[in-house]
Chain A
Amino acid sequence: MKKYVLDLKVSSVERVNARNVLIRLTDDKPLPEMLPGQFVEVRVDGSPSTFLRRPISINFVDIERNELWLLVATVGEGTHALARLRKGDMLNCVLPLGNTFTPLASSSERVLLVGGGVGVAPLLYFGKQIKEAGGTPVFLLGARTAADLAEISLFEQYGRVCITTEDGSAGEKGFVTNHSVLSTERFDRISTCGPKPMMKAVAHYAYQASIPCEASLENMMACGVGACLCCVEKTTEGNLCVCKEGPVFDTRRLMWGE
């Protein structure tokens, strides 16, 4: 897929919860094709301590409104600067980068999408793609507390939503891998995105249950296009760039102890 450097216009910035903001971007021209699982490298202006671009996963692409959505967790100075963007500001983006989640093979395929924290972001766009292909994904979304959950009503448009919170303030109490849906239902495959310990636990569950599993990684990146070799992950084929060979990897290729 051809990559572009684009100055996109901010159409809105919405605070989703205490930690996350949703940035909607648009352009006068139709946005390039972007697929679920891919990401964008954004240039952070107005933050002197932020030198490199920030890789942000594609949360959603609204074709009718010609909008690209980025769900951003405000964790450092760069992401806080992104949260200060206002309608009408421009955001320089390199996109679309990386590979994609594996598309639905048949409408009968039962897909579980497991997200944690801001890692839920790319699963929304993936869920839409699955639904449009005739499938019905189940979302299993984890957060520390009810206040940290994001975009739940949007996920519900595309499939059933199961929730866990660590404090039990919403859904089932515990981690995603403790949720009852894992023991009561059978899935054909799993895609996951979130904190690495969570993804490792999900991959472990999938391995034990003999279910194919893919995970979207977020190693620290510089170039975003496979040139600098900084964001590597150890795999069965050696060190691979998360930005180019990933971010989505079959977990059996990862050296996660299975």
Chain B
Amino acid sequence: MADLSVKISDLHLKNPVMTASGTFGYGLEFADFVPLEEIGGIIVKGTTLKPREGNDYPRMVETPQGMLNCVGLQNKGVDYFIEHIYPQIKDIDTNMIVNVSGNSPETYAETAEKLDALERIPAIEVNISCPNVKEGGMSFGVTCSGAASIVKAVREHYHKTMIVKLSPNVTDIASIARACEDEGADSVSLINTLMGMAIDIERRRPKLSIRTGGLSGPAVKPVAVRMVNDVAKAVKIPVIGLGGISTAEDAIEFLMAGATAIQIGTANFLDPQVTIKVRDGINDWLDRHGCKSVTEIINCLA
């Protein structure tokens, strides 16, 4: 049994397997399938200052080895989260992390400040990369100055571990990551979904209600691995890798590319027990290769 524990700034993870925001609900939805406390960290659904209804149906299209979604950050707002959801999840014995979105530096900061007060939420993931909202979201994540403005504002009001989730819809993701690091981010996670589109050729219309959506699933994995490696070379803060991971072998690729931890997203839909299988698979691989700790393979490329 190898030591699977890793550290993301002040955050101690039992193992490097986390769940990606928007794919695992609040964890509770999967409690029948996996022991939640055995997951390294659970990143809950994107939360905003005010409630959001999200976009119209249809919000999802199946694509080759993946799916497009344009959910659009449907959530009941941070106050509802604090009052109704936090009490249900605060005693889950793992890192419960809240993904935060907004439409201005001020709304991000205000949401983060409210979450700062929650004892059992040790970190937030600041989402500057949602491709499915008109205002805010990804618009901040595609320029260095936009990313910096959000990270700076949140940093002033949030004192625990701040992870910033990056958009792949940029020409140079490493420069965005550096901008976040410079403003005090503790970690960056990548990649959010890749913007895409699918067309119903009989009706000659986009298949999604808002025309475009974010692509996830195994189809995006090679893009994600490359970007994780680019970013890991560019920053000193720990990198969290995600994008199409569905097996332990996938996860190990990300770790070797420079990720300290990984997130599993879309694969939870195909196998609700995938998180624990990936954790066990990483352990088996380490044992087979005589590694005593998972840290031996992080950023280990020759």
Contacts and interface: CB of A to CB of B under 8 A. Distances in A.
B60 A51 contact: no
Interface in B33-84: 33, 45, 53-54, 56-60, 62-67, 69, 71, 74
Given A228-B22, A232-B74, A43 B270 contact: yes
B25 interface: yes
Contacts of A186: none
Contact of B53 (A4, A219, A222, A238): A238
A51 B62 contact: yes
Contacts of B65: 51
Contact of A228 (B33, B269, B271): B269
State the majority secondary structure of interface residues on A: loop
Given A221-B60, A223-B23, 14 more contacts: A51-B62, A53-B270, A94-B272, A220-B60, A222-B269, A224-B269, A228-B22, A228-B60, A228-B71, A229-B45, A230-B60, A233-B57, A234-B57, A239-B57
B33 A239 contact: no
A51 B63 contact: yes
B29 interface: yes
Given A5-B33, A222-B67, A227 B268 contact: yes
Nearest to B32: A3
A201 interface: no
Contacts of B5: none
In this complex, the member of A4, A53, A223 whose beta carbon has the largest number of chain B beta carbons within 10 angstroms is A223
A135 interface: no
12 contacts: A51-B67, A52-B62, A219-B57, A222-B69, A228-B23, A228-B60, A228-B71, A230-B60, A230-B71, A232-B54, A232-B57, A238-B53
Given A49-B64, A223-B23, A229-B59, A239 B74 contact: yes
Interface of B: 22-25, 29-30, 32-33, 45, 53-54, 56-60, 62-67, 69, 71, 74, 217, 266, 268-273
Contacts of A50: 62
Contacts, number: 88
A229 B58 CA distance: 11
State the majority secondary structure of interface residues on B: loop
A3 B31 CA distance: 9
Nearest to A1: B32
Contacts of B62: 50-52
Contact of B217 (A51, A221, A228, A232): A51
Contacts of B217: 51
Contacts of B269: 52-53, 222-224, 227-228
Interface of A: 2-5, 43, 49-53, 94, 219-234, 238-239, 244
Contacts of A52: 62, 67, 269-270
Nearest to B24: A227
Contacts of A224: 269
Contacts of A49: 64
A5 B69 contact: no
Nearest to A242: B57
Given A53-B270, A239-B54, A228 B69 contact: yes
Contacts of A2: 32
Contact of B54 (A3, A221, A229): A229
A226 B32 contact: no
A230 B69 contact: yes
B32 A51 contact: no
Contacts of B266: 222
Contact of A225 (B29, B60, B67): B29
Nearest to B19: A227
Contacts of A5: 33, 271-273
Query: Which 8 A-B residue pairings sit nearest by Cβ, starting from the closest?
Result: A230-B60, A227-B25, A3-B32, A223-B269, A225-B29, A227-B29, A222-B269, A230-B59
Contacts of B58: 220
Nearest to A224: B269
A255 to B, nearest CB: 11
Contacts of A220: 58, 60
B25 A226 contact: yes
A84 B212 CA distance: 34
A142 B65 CA distance: 36
